[in-house]
Amino acid sequence: MHFKPILAVACLALLAAAGCATTSSQTSQTGPSQPVVLTAKPVKPPQEEINAKVAQELKDLGENEMVTEKAGQAGHPSQQEAVTYDIPIVINSRVEFFIDYFQTRMPKRFRIWLARSGRYLPMMRAILKEHGLPEDLVYLALIESGFSCQAYSRAHAVGPWQFIQGTGRRYGLVINYWVDERRDPVKSTHAAAKYLKDLHEEFGSWYLAAAAYNAGEGKIRRALKRYDADDFWSISQGRRYYLKQETRQYVPKMIAAALIAKEPDKYGFTDIVYEQPLAYEVVEVHPGTSLGVAAKLAGIKPNELNDLNPELRRWAVPPTGGMYDLRIPPGTKATFEIAYAKLPLAERKARVGMVTVRVHRGDTLGRIARTHGVSLNELMAMNPRINPRRLAIGQKVVVPPKGGAPATLVASSSGSRSHRSLAGSPKGTRKIHHTVKSGDTLWHIARTYNIEWRDIPRWNGHNTSRLKVGQHLVLYVPSAKAEGKVDTKVEQVYVVRRGDNLWTIGRRYGVTPNQLKRWNNLSSSAISPGDKLTVKR
């Protein structure tokens, strides 16, 4: 019986495994130079599973009085295909919480996000790689917006990467009356890559870079100094938190999203129907070119052209600044360029003729519309970011030309077949009919169905600038909402003000304090000015 040498070898294996696990944990704070490989069940930290395997081998060794090769293989990858990550992967109770959160509290919404990822993941990964960044940082866009180019938060962050105006402009994104490149999936990804690269160069850790992406560089600098720390986990725990809950949860949420997105079946997200990868060709068009005309020349519907060019905020490309690169479906470039070249310059351009006015005391959008001889719906379609109930003195309002603005995609594509006969519903939507009631406006209808009011004219061939009671409208609402499922739009973010409490905030949005606590993982009703709360509507 020679158990002692065998047990010694096994103990050394145990110590070696523990040592390797320690090294792995330390490396994960600053980012490994090589991809991380996870083959164990991701609901357990890898080192725990290694220790469990070796302990079992010791038990088997003592019971069977024989040497096996298993002890020397403990912790090695199994025969199953390995899943690799190029960002650090640390799995702890906080990460496990968000795995469970995505699985049990918002599975329908997360399925929609996963399906939408098929459209953008290949392009975004390629851009991150081009900038020398880990490709798995793409999952920041998953938790920021669910890969939605139309995402808009109450903090005024916009697009798939949720840039605020200042940061977006700092990294080269154009934001003006005509375009908002924060919504451009390609340009905003380049900007996000540059920003993340700068953050990593400053903090030396992808976890800290991600936290700074959420909270700002200054906040993370001060947190590191306050805690005398150099890693994310140290500054995001303790009894008295310095970082807001949103930032403390940001990295665990990113890790959980990456784990699920890479192995959706393992976590119960089966049979995901991924959207086709984004594909397009680029053509140069003259300033002021009507999108309705461009859509007709490309042989597509205006809303399809909008999907390829989500940065465009109006019915035409910018009227100044030179030629504009417009995206059109693959395979249509040659035909488009021939037809566009034959079209007289005057017929290419949309009518502009609008004026800008400032809001005065006592003004309403209705009064401004009557003063300038346009309908309220026309005025609202020209100003999609203005809430008619929250006008501010001095605020700028763009007034369309009299009698037909906003020279919309529907108007400028006259002659094409009626939009009432759209062939099928746009992706992720369901067709319904709405009968106009007394007091209805495009804004009220859009708010009711959680859609953009400027889309309604595009979906209806008749003139919708002056709605009539009894008029029938075709609407394409998010399919999840149409079926009574979770809303596909990104939740709003409310910044707590002095004097706020959960009850007053809940009453403002028509939700309960308990819902606010559940959505924000609050253990109590205590909130402070500056806190950011997620509000789902």
Do 166 and 192 belong to one domain?
A: yes
CATH number for the domain harbouring residue 366: 3.10.350.10
Element of type H or E holding 399: strand 396-399
Answer whether residue 481 is part of any domain.
Answer: no
Residue 142 lies in a domain: yes
- Kindly state whether residues 121 and 226 are assigned to the same domain: yes
CB 525 within 8 A of CB 517: yes
- Residues 80, 168 within the same domain: no
Phi, psi of 31 (to 5 degrees): 105, 125
pLDDT at 239: 65
Give Dmax (Cα) for the chain.
102
Let me know whether 221 and 74 are in one domain.
Answer: no
Task: Please check whether residues 23 and 97 belong to one and the same domain.
Answer: no
- Domain assignment present for 127: yes
d(CA 525, CA 503): 9
Looking up tokens 């209805």, which residue turns up? 440
Q: Which residues are catalytic?
A: 144
Q: Give the pLDDT score at 470.
A: 80
CA distance 534 to 517: 9
Which residue, of 238, 267, 296, is where some domain finishes? 267
Domain presence at residue 432? no
Do residues 246 and 290 share a domain?
no
d(CA 334, CA 105): 48
User: Do 78 and 116 sit in the same domain of this protein?
Assistant: no
Number of domains in the chain: 5
Regarding whether 258 and 109 lie in a shared domain, the answer is yes
pLDDT (tens place) for every residue of the chain, 537 residues total: 444 444 343 444 433 444 443 333 333 344 433 444 443 334 444 445 444 544 454 444 443 333 323 333 333 333 346 889 999 999 999 999 999 999 999 999 999 999 999 999 999 999 999 999 999 999 999 999 999 999 988 788 999 999 999 999 999 999 987 899 999 999 999 999 999 999 999 999 999 999 999 999 999 999 999 999 999 999 998 767 899 999 999 999 999 999 999 999 999 999 999 999 999 999 999 988 999 899 999 999 988 999 999 999 888 898 778 899 999 999 999 999 999 999 988 788 765 556 778 898 888 888 888 887 777 877 876 676 788 878 888 898 877 766 443 333 333 333 333 333 343 455 567 788 888 877 677 777 876 777 777 678 777 754 565 778 888 888 887 764 333 333 333 456 777 877 778 877 876 776 778 888 888 878 777 887 777 788 875
In the prediction, which pLDDT does 467 show? 79
What pLDDT score does 277 carry? 97
Would residue 483 count as lying in a domain?
no
* Residue 272 · residue 115 · CB < 8 Å: yes
Please give the backbone phi and psi of residue 284, each rounded to the nearest 5 degrees, phi first. -95, 130
CATH number of the domain within which 249 lies: 1.10.530.10
Among residues 304, 326, 345, the one where a domain terminates is: 345
Same domain for 356 and 340, yes or no, is no
- Whether 417 is in a domain gets the answer no
Residue 167 and residue 142: Cα distance in Å, rounded?
19
| Residue 167 included in any domain | yes
Is 112 found in the same domain as 245? yes
Q: Which amino acid is at 134?
A: P
pLDDT for the residue 205: 97
Per the domain annotation, does 276 fall within a domain? no
* 31: containing domain: 3-85
Q: Residues 251, 108: one domain?
A: yes
CB of 468 within 8 A of CB of 438? no
Same domain, 154 and 34: no
